[in-house]
């Protein structure tokens, strides 16, 4: 069964400031397929470590990664500028198959689901691309190249991943004032940014975070997720941020 694993769930290291630049859906016009060119068994943390420490990037380079069993891992997320294809990191969402030119049908279904979801969120049909079309590289290998050229067909691609589960609530309220600081604040801010809110994750829950929280609480109530619009991230608001479908 397809699942989505959030950054908090796979234990991502915090991104550097250079890995936190964001765009809006209006900037997204392309969808890039990659492979990691490594063993299928490699961990997401090892990929992030290599990108941070080996390449000196601001974060893991891809927006999402997909394992051979179809599991989807959140990389930089929907609206963060990636580091996957020069000159196309703002316009393109980069998704990497964890492996080397040996995609499974389950992986292709999940990549196709991500493409369909990106089109839905952006409100337009994104161009299907593979890395080698825009950069001199053999990535993502001959099999995935042919698959993208064929239009990314995937049997059962209309199947959606199981709903995301919220990371464990941090056990304290996020509020302002006084200003709350910490990695849990960053996790919530990053999630709200990925939902489309104009919010820069910095780990400090200040006036802008409180305003976004209040607006999200009001919007959630309007969409059948009743929340108290108090600008405070408590257990119910935390859960809604991760589990409420993007409207």
* 105 sits in which H/E element: helix 105-122
Q: Is there a single domain that holds both residue 101 and residue 10?
A: yes
The domain total for the chain is 2
| Distance spanning both ends of the chain, measured CA to CA | 24
Q: Decide if 61 is inside a domain.
A: yes
Instruction: Report, as an integer, the average pLDDT of 199-228.
Output: 94
Q: Decide if 8 is inside a domain.
A: yes
**Cα 147 from chain centre:** 23
For residue 100, give its domain range.
4-149
Nearest C-alpha neighbor of 117 from the set 186, 195, 201, 48: 195
Q: Decide if 170 is inside a domain.
A: no
* pLDDT band, residue 1 (cuts 50/70/90): very low
Percent of the chain with pLDDT over 70: 94
* pLDDT band, residue 247 (cuts 50/70/90): low
Question: 46-101: per-residue pLDDT in tens?
Answer: 999 999 999 999 999 999 999 999 999 999 999 999 999 999 999 999 999 999 98
Percent of the chain with pLDDT over 90: 74
Own/partner long-range contacts of 190-199 (Cβ < 8 Å, ≥24 apart) = 190/7, 190/77, 191/6, 191/241, 191/242, 192/216, 192/241, 193/22, 193/77, 193/79, 193/80, 194/74, 194/77, 194/78, 194/79, 194/80, 195/241, 195/246, 196/24, 196/25, 196/79, 196/121, 196/246
Q: Where are the beta strands (DSSP E) in 28-154?
A: 30-35, 64-66, 72-74, 92-97, 127-130
| pLDDT in the model for residue 191 | 83
Q: Is there a single domain that holds both residue 70 and residue 20?
A: yes
Query: Residue 218: is its pLDDT beyond 90?
Result: yes
Q: Rounded to two decimals, what is the model's pTM?
A: 0.70
Q: Decide if 154 is inside a domain.
A: no
Q: Decide if 156 is inside a domain.
A: no
Query: Residue 245: is its pLDDT beyond 80?
Result: no
Nearest C-alpha neighbor of 70 from the set 1, 9, 11, 128: 1
Q: Is there a single domain that holds both residue 129 and residue 189?
A: no
Instruction: Report, as an integer, the average pLDDT of 107-121.
Output: 93
Q: Decide if 76 is inside a domain.
A: yes
* pLDDT band, residue 202 (cuts 50/70/90): confident
* pLDDT band, residue 164 (cuts 50/70/90): low
Distance (Å, rounded) from C-alpha 200 to C-alpha 15?
A: 12
Q: Decide if 169 is inside a domain.
A: no
Q: Is there a single domain that holds both residue 69 and residue 112?
A: yes
Q: Is there a single domain that holds both residue 40 and residue 116?
A: yes
Own/partner long-range contacts of 54-60 (Cβ < 8 Å, ≥24 apart) = 55/83, 57/18, 57/19, 57/83, 58/15, 58/16, 58/17, 58/18, 58/19, 58/20, 58/83, 59/15, 59/16, 59/19, 59/20, 59/83, 60/12
| pLDDT in the model for residue 101 | 82
Q: Is there a single domain that holds both residue 93 and residue 186?
A: no
Q: Is there a single domain that holds both residue 18 and residue 78?
A: yes
Query: Residue 115: is its pLDDT beyond 90?
Result: yes
Q: Decide if 155 is inside a domain.
A: no
Last residue of a domain, one of 108, 129, 149: 149
Q: Is there a single domain that holds both residue 192 and residue 131?
A: no
């Amino acid at each position: 069964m397809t699942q989505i694993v959030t950054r908090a769930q796979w234990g991502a290291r915090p991104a550097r400031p250079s890995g936190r630049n964001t765009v809006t859906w209006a900037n997204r016009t392309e969808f890039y397929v990659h492979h990691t060119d490594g063993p299928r068994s490699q961990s997401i943390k090892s990929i992030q470590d290599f990108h941070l420490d080996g390449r000196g990037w601001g974060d893991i380079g891809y927006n999402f990664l997909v394992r051979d069993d179809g599991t989807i891992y959140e990389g930089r997320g929907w609206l963060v500028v990636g580091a996957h294809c020069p000159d196309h990191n703002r316009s393109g969402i980069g998704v990497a198959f964890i492996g080397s030119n040996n995609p499974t049908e389950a992986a292709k279904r999940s990549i196709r689901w991500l493409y369909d979801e990106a089109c839905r969120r952006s409100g337009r049909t994104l161009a299907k691309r593979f890395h080698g079309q825009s950069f001199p590289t053999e990535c993502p290998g001959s099999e995935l190249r042919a698959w993208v050229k064929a239009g990314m067909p995937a049997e059962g691609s209309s199947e959606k991943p199981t709903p995301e589960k919220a990371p464990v609530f941090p056990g304290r309220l996020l509020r302002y004032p006084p200003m709350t600081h910490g990695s849990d604040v960053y996790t919530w801010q990053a999630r709200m940014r990925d939902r489309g809110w104009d919010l820069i994750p910095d780990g400090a829950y200040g006036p802008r975070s409180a305003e976004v929280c209040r607006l999200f609480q009001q919007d959630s109530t309007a969409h059948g997720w009743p929340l108290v619009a108090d600008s405070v991230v408590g257990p119910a608001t935390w859960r809604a941020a991760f589990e409420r479908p993007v409207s």
